Amino acid sequence: MRKLLLLLSLAALQAACSATMMIPERGVIAQWDNWVAGQSFDGFDTYIPDVWVFDEQSELSLTDSPDALVYEGVSYAECYDGRDGVLLVNGLGYENMDFFIPNYIGGENKEITIQIIYQSTGSEPLIGVSPYLNGELMTEGIYANGRTSHVSLEGYWFCDTFEFVVIPNPDYEYITLGFENNPVSPVLAVDSVTVETVCVPEPATLCFMALGSLTLLRKRK
């Protein structure tokens, strides 16, 4: 009986240790799919995300929610080639759309994953990240893994994924989406854009969390 109780106690202790060592991801997920129109800004269209999920237990640096600013040469189609809620990009160029993403306060770095579903017969997405820290544009510490996946869908539709890392963690960033010039394929369609971010805590925070878990275990003994 004592042996069984000991085994149960060790199992409970291991579970408690694992739970206390779990690091909150401090993630933000924003997805634009149906392109719901928001307020205009400087004469340009804005779109609010269909989905916005964030860690409510971590404090955001800004209370503003994500939004997308769409510039000239972009029009909306209720239905296009079997897909609902699509943006048609007529004027090709690098700065067609800007996506604003707020971050959490503090952190060692910011990991960004961008997924776009689009239709094209030649042009590919161009992605850029402009992070801001203390109101200033960061010119260093931006690392791009580039396009990490390219999946072909039906009817010249594709799903591309891009990854970036920003060091240190900025307060917010603008993600720029455009397409390279291609006279043969002057019209493209964007079905959805999904941005997933994670603010990684600083090493000092991790040490503090580890110390807290050790204190908890000591009290249990």
Structure-token pair, residue 41: 């800004």
pLDDT at residue 6 tops 60: no
Q: How far is CA 57 from CA 26, 80, 82, 120, in A?
A: 8, 40, 40, 41
Q: Average pLDDT, whole number, for the chain? A: 79
Q: Which residue has the higher pLDDT, 72 or 134?
A: 134
Residue count of the chain: 221
Query: Residues 6 or more apart from 10 whose CB is under 8 A from it?
Result: none
Average of pLDDT values for 39-66? 86
DSSP secondary structure code for residue 144 in this structure? E
CA distance 49 to 153: 23
pLDDT band for position 75 (cuts 50, 70, 90): confident
Q: What is the pLDDT of residue 21?
A: 30
Q: What is the pLDDT of residue 137?
A: 97
User: What global pTM score does this model have?
Assistant: 0.78
pLDDT band for position 131 (cuts 50, 70, 90): very high
Q: What is the pLDDT of residue 201?
A: 81
CA distance 174 to 150: 23
Q: What is the pLDDT of residue 57?
A: 80
Q: Which residue has the higher pLDDT, 2 or 122?
A: 122
pLDDT at residue 167 tops 90: yes
Average of pLDDT values for 180-191? 73
